[in-house]
Amino acid sequence: MNPNPLTLLWEGFEIQSYQQISSDSLVIQLQPSPNRQYHCRHCLQSAYQMHDRSIRRIRERDIGPFKVWLDVPVARVACSRCGPRTERISWLPDRLRMTRSFMLWIEVLVQKMPVAHVARLTGVHWHTVKAIDYQRLKREQREPDRQGLKRLIMDEFALFKGHRYATVVVNADNQQLLWVGEGRSRAAVRPFFEWLGVEACEQIEAVAMDMNTAMDLEVQHHCRNARVVYDLFHVVAKFGREVVDRVRVDQANQLRHDKPGRKIIKRARWLLLRNANNLKAEQAIQLQELLQANQSLMTVYVLKDQLKELWFAPSEAEAKRRWREWYGMAMSSGIQPAIQFAKRLKGYLSGITASAVYRLNTSVLEGMNNKIKVIKRMAYGYRDNDYFFLKIKAAFPGKVR
């Protein structure tokens, strides 16, 4: 019976000696086991050991409170196929100065926390941490299935610098990410349709997206059976920014001589833009008081709520009826930002009423946006779109139904 469980860690080697080099660090010197079999690292064939060896200092996982390094004597072998080569050591990955189990530990950590944190925690350079994560993502990457796709979601998000964009395409039925690429122009998304292929393109029934992009034209060009659907999430968010917030600022400016009243409105941005269902009891009361004291804010707030109802119409005819009602309300509100918004929205009507037929859960989009933001923060500092896109792909593997 072997009294030393550490021998389980380093197949083919045993401990020769160790030194404590500081209060929290150990170096363990290994030596080959007497019965060690040698193999060529390149072709894995067994081979004779040559006389030269070199000692490599390798990082191992911590043992108790100690950070651990190993001094590993790595032999050269005479391979009958490859000539002189380094020997294969099963627990040492190529080109890294760490054991496989230490590398796997980094892989686990970097899925849970930012690269910079893992680097600080382990003492490994962030560049190495990122490279390990990148290799894992490449290894685990799977080509998405093109068959049976019916409904897609296309969305864009800002890249690191803010003024450059990327586009994602998601299967609306299982939320699997199908494609991600730089840019948001027609040409930028063309490679997605080329990947999809003519046959799969014809099967697409609906594609949800933001208004105000050129992507709808590209969709119509490739997927002649698809209907473009403008999703609730983007339209309502836009109404919030362009109408509710505009009116809030205007109203605050009008209260120049009423400092307390002005302060209340200036601070109400979040309250007004937040989904009413997510407000706490006292916030809901605060909102009610604000709206009752300000007629214009009340009007645009009601318009925003009514706008949402368009997307939940039981039929397209009912969606059109609700649209006419909403449009009439907006136009007679006397509030310029609301009138302008309604006029512009009219041009997108078909894509709005289509949502009555092709229901696409907008919380999916909202959730995706948030998740991408988190990934961006985690990978912050590494302006490497390749890595960032792999991270995003891995975050949306699709739900099994």
For residue 149, what is the enclosing H or E element?
A: none
Tell the smallest beta-carbon distance from residue 399 to Zn ion (Å).
45
81, 142, 344, 371: which one binds Zn ion (CB under 5 A): 81
Answer yes or no whether residue 274 interacts with Zn ion by CB under 5 A.
Answer: no
Return the bridge partners of 20, or none: 26
Least Cβ distance, residue 48 to Zn ion (angstroms): 12
Contact positions with Zn ion (CB under 5 A) in 239-268: none
Q: Shortest distance, CB of residue 46 to Zn ion, whole angstroms?
A: 10
Contacts with 101 (C-beta within 8 Å, 6 or more apart), sequence order:
9, 60, 61, 91
Strands of 80-213 (E only): list them: 83-86, 151-158, 165-171, 177-182, 206-209
Pairing verdict, β 151-158 and 165-171: antiparallel
- Give which of 32, 49, 54, 43 is closest to 82, Cα–Cα: 43
Query: d(Cα 186, Cα 178) in Å, to the nearest integer?
Result: 17
**Window contacting Zn ion (CB under 5 A); options: 2-10, 79-87, 129-137, 215-223:** 79-87
Closest distance of CB 56 from Zn ion, Å? 20
C-beta closer to Zn ion: residue 43 or 276: 43
Q: How far is the CB of 35 from Zn ion (least distance, A)?
A: 21
Residue 79 C-beta: closest distance to Zn ion, Å: 3
Site for Zn ion in 181-210 (CB under 5 A): none
Rounded Cα–Cα distance for residues 155 and 170 (Å)? 8
Instruction: Mention every residue, 6+ apart, whose C-beta is less than 8 A from residue 256.
Output: 262
Minimum distance from residue 98 beta carbon to Zn ion (Å):
24
- Alpha-carbon gap, residue 81 to 86, rounded angstroms: 13
| Residue 82 touches Zn ion, criterion: CB under 5 A | yes
Task: Say which residue the tokens 């610098």 belong to.
Answer: 161
Kindly tell me which of 46 and 225 has the beta carbon lying closer to Zn ion. 46
Beta carbon nearer to Zn ion, 79 or 264: 79
Q: Is 43 in the site for Zn ion (CB under 5 A)?
A: yes
Specify the residue, 78 or 357, whose C-beta has the smaller distance to Zn ion. 78
Smallest gap from residue 85 Cβ to Zn ion (A): 6
Q: DSSP for 239-276? A: HIIIIIHHHHHHHHHHTTT-HHHHHHHHTTHHHHHS-G
**Per CB under 5 A, 79 contacts Zn ion:** yes
Q: Which stretch binds Zn ion (CB under 5 A): 73-81, 137-145, 226-234, 312-320?
A: 73-81
Find out whether 288 and 296 touch, Cβ atoms under 8 Å: no
- Stretch of 32-40, 86-94, 333-341, 372-380 contacting Zn ion, by CB under 5 A: 32-40
Is 40 near Zn ion (CB under 5 A)? Answer: yes
Which part of the chain contacts Zn ion (CB under 5 A), choosing from 42-50, 124-132, 372-380, 383-391?
42-50
Identity of the residue, 79 or 209, whose beta carbon is nearer to Zn ion in the bound complex: 79
3-state secondary structure of 152: strand
Beta-bridge partner residues of 154: 169
Q: How far is the CB of 11 from Zn ion (least distance, A)?
A: 20
Query: Which residue among 42, 97, 186, 320 contacts Zn ion (CB under 5 A)?
Result: 42
Q: What is the dihedral of CA 381, 384, 385, 390, to 10 degrees?
A: -90
DSSP string, 18-70: EEEEETTEEEEEEEE-TTPPPBBTTT--B-EEEEEEEEEEEEEEEETTEEEEE
The span of 43-51, 223-231, 246-254, 317-325 binding Zn ion (CB under 5 A) equals: 43-51
Residue with Cβ nearer Zn ion (46 or 141): 46
User: Under the rule (CB under 5 A), what is the footprint of Zn ion?
Assistant: 40, 42-43, 79, 81-82
